[in-house]
Amino acid sequence: MRIVFHLFDLKDNSFKKFYFRGWDGRKPIFCKSRKYAKEYWTKNMANEDIEKLKRAESPRARTLAVRLEASE
């Protein structure tokens, strides 16, 4: 399972999809590639990070959804 963000970028009015990669102190790190996203083995571990990430705000984008994506 991986955490995926669906965002609406206010700068260019487009929809974007980013994956959660990890933490740099208190700052979340994102990537565009599913390959480099953090892999979770249980829902409980992922839910802890999802709760923290839901509080993150950006002046440039609006978060539409934060979800778990199943591994292939």
> Which tens digit of pLDDT belongs to each residue from 16-61?
899 999 999 888 889 999 999 999 988 888 888 888 887 777 777 7
pLDDT of residue 5: 85
pLDDT of residue 6: 87
**Residue 25, CA atoms < 13 Å, CB-side half-sphere:** 1
- Extents of the domains making up the chain: 2-56
pLDDT of residue 54: 78
Among residues 69, 6, 62, the alpha carbon closest in space to that of 38 is found at 69
What pTM does this model have? 0.78
Say if residues 6 and 53 touch (Cβ distance below 8 Å). no
